[in-house]
Amino acid sequence: MTESAVLAPTTLAWITRLIAFDTTSRNSNRELIDVIDAELRVHGLDPVLVPNSDGTKANLVVTIPAHDGSTTGGVMLAGHTDVVPVDGQAWSSDPFTAEVRENRLYGRGAADMKAFSGVILALLPELVSRPLATPLHLAWTYDEEVGCHGAITLLADLAARGIRPSMCIVGEPTSMRAVSAHKSSHLYRVSFTGLASHSSNTPNGVNAIEYAARAIAFIRSIADEHRVNGPFDASFEVPYTTINVGTISGGAAVNTVAERCDFEFEFRAIPGVSTSAIFSRIEDFVLGELRPAMRAEHAIADVSFAPIGAVPSLSAAGTGAALQLVHELTGTSSEETVGYGTEGGLFQLAGIDTVVCGPGSIRQGHTANEFIDLAQISACEDFMRALARQLAHQH
């Protein structure tokens, strides 16, 4: 392995160790967090755990203060600890046993995003070796893959403790390119309750499926408006806001008026589009037109919305110094957009200048035989070393 020879001696060991924890979002991440916590303490740091409501998962955040003891401002490196399931995927090796083959490291989370975390841990000695001009904050979150729940509690903790990083670099896989914008995503479930009846007597019932179908057709019409009329942002591969109905279930039998129908939809809005306006139009149609029509058939009928998750957009207009920093650290000047959401939107919303930049390609994220090129890991090491130099206090 010629390329692995250029990596720091502990980098592959750290990434391998992190991948060995099955931190699929449905599982606890506490064992992995405890290992990071212990390592940070070895280097004299004092990490803070921010548990979820039942304590089964935790964020971890630590601040390496500036040379004068200051913890204000500075740069935050942020990554999530959870990974997506391997269920139903055909892997050619154990997903939780990292394996190096042909200059790639394979394993669940190799790209998304345990290599980023592994590089930080391997280079901790360098990150803490010099007095810093401004603080460095390291943050690991839970439940990113299922709605960015951890980032929300992390931000609440930072605010409560008065810790306010000036900039944040989210290490999601971007092939080490600076990503300054992504769309928002908003997920909802809509539940229609009608009234069952023998299908020979339809006036006796209320057909939940038929009303859900009208709602779905309305949602599609709004999606078509955005596709045809915009607003457009040409920097995105799909340059307009999209809406998708992704699941539907309902009905009991073909000879029965359907009592229940549920569907889930999401929309992904380009930065600057009012997401509340989109949702309000759908809500107004469903609650203002469909529900009264259902109830006119029978008073028991009802329909309800439940939000499943939301990730705010990351706007290029909100990035300044962080983008410049990433350009300096990577020696590039490109600025890209991506279609997937990240915790970066939440950090930006909290007033932190945020850019996404991390090793590996999103194309390998979430796939069977997920891998990261060793060259990407090496590039991430270079990035961290450059950051350590950049943050160092100049005497």
Residues lying near Zn ion in the complex (CB under 5 A): 112-113, 172
User: How many Å apart are CA 388 and CA 288, to the nearest integer?
Assistant: 57
Least distance (Å) between residue 72 CB and Zn ion: 28
What values do phi and psi take at 64, rounded to 5?
-95, 105
Least distance (Å) between residue 311 CB and Zn ion: 11
Residue nearest to Zn ion (CB): 112
Q: For residue 181, which amino acid is it?
A: A
DSSP alpha helix (H) spans, the chain: 11-19, 30-42, 115-122, 124-127, 149-160, 208-229, 275-285, 291-297, 321-330, 344-349, 374-391
Least distance (Å) between residue 57 CB and Zn ion: 16
Q: Choose between 108 and 186: whose C-beta lies nearer to Zn ion.
A: 108
Q: Choose between 143 and 172: whose C-beta lies nearer to Zn ion.
A: 172
Region of 155 please: left (phi>0), alpha (psi -120 to 50) or beta: alpha
271: CB partners within 8 A, 6+ apart: 181, 183, 184, 233, 313, 314, 315, 316, 317
Q: Choose between 231 and 339: whose C-beta lies nearer to Zn ion.
A: 339
Longest CA span, the chain: 88
Is 144 a residue of the active site? yes
- From 22, 82, 143, 373, active-site residue: 82
Least distance (Å) between residue 108 CB and Zn ion: 12
Q: Tell me: cis bond preceding 294? Omega within 30 of 0 counts.
A: no
Q: Choose between 82 and 233: whose C-beta lies nearer to Zn ion.
A: 82
User: How many Å apart are CA 79 and CA 116, to the nearest integer?
Assistant: 8
Find, among 108, 82, 75, the residue nearest to 30 by Cα. 82
Least distance (Å) between residue 23 CB and Zn ion: 12
Least distance (Å) between residue 36 CB and Zn ion: 17
Find, among 198, 206, 281, the residue nearest to 241 by Cα. 281
Contact call for residues 391 and 383 (beta carbons, < 8 A)? no
Q: Choose between 150 and 271: whose C-beta lies nearer to Zn ion.
A: 150
Strand 136-141 vs strand 167-170: parallel, antiparallel, or unpaired? unpaired
Is 284 a residue of the active site? no
- From 112, 143, 144, 381, active-site residue: 144
Q: Choose between 115 and 122: whose C-beta lies nearer to Zn ion.
A: 115
Catalytic residues: 82, 144
